[in-house]
Structure 1
């Protein structure tokens, strides 16, 4: 149950951070305006709070693991939202990152 909760929190964090960055990108680079940028800033702030809900108490571990989620999530966002087509190297890289997430977050540790 703890792993499922952690994975859900990583998914929510990815949506907030990647979505927030995308909204700012749209507001600034695609000239959609300040409301898009403001929504992006709010989403990025939400990401910061979601990360604090992870069951592990180590900030560095959470952020390091989230980096792998961010890599894979960014590619997935690009596929769904921007119709980006990742190549095999993108997919292999994302898989390596997600394996790293699993090792960092869910490997058995003594003293837990």
Structure 2
């Protein structure tokens, strides 16, 4: 159950961070205005809180692992929202990042690891 909770928190964090950054991008680069930018900033703030609910107590581990989720999630966001078509190298890179997430977060640990 702890791994499922952790994975769901990573997904929620990715939606908040990637969505927030996308909203800021739309507000600035696509000239959609301050409401888009403000919504993006708020979503980025939510992202900061979501990470604190991870069951692991180590900030560095959480953020390091989340980096891999962010990479894969960003490509997924691009596919779903911007109709981006990743090539095989994008997909291989994202898979490597997700493997890193699994190793960092869910490998069995002994002692103080």
**For residues 76-87 of structure 1, what are the structure 2 equivalents within 5 Å?**
76-87=76-87
Q: Secondary structure at the match of 1:11?
A: helix
Structure 1 position 109 matched with structure 2 position 102? no
Q: Which runs of 5+ in 2 are unaligned?
A: none
Counterpart of 1:90 in structure 2 is 90
Q: Report the TM-score when normalising by structure 1.
A: 0.99
Counterpart of 2:4 in structure 1 is 4
**For residues 1-112 of structure 1, what are the structure 2 equivalents within 5 Å?**
1-111=1-111
Q: What does the per-residue CA deviation read over 1:39-88, in whole Å, with 9 as the maximum and x for residues that have no partner?
A: 00000000000000000000000000000000000000000000000000
**Structure 1 residue 111, shift from structure 2 partner:** 2.9
Q: Report the TM-score when normalising by structure 2.
A: 0.98
Q: Which runs of 5+ in 1 are unaligned?
A: none
| RMSD of aligned residue pairs (Cα, Å) | 0.7
Q: After the TM superposition, which parts of structure 1 deviate over 4 Å for at least 4 consecutive aligned residues?
A: none
Q: Secondary structure at the match of 2:57?
A: coil
Q: In the aligned structure 2, how far is the partner of 1:80 from the partner of 1:111?
A: 42
Q: Secondary structure at the match of 1:52?
A: helix
Q: In the aligned structure 1, how far is the partner of 2:72 from the partner of 2:98?
A: 7
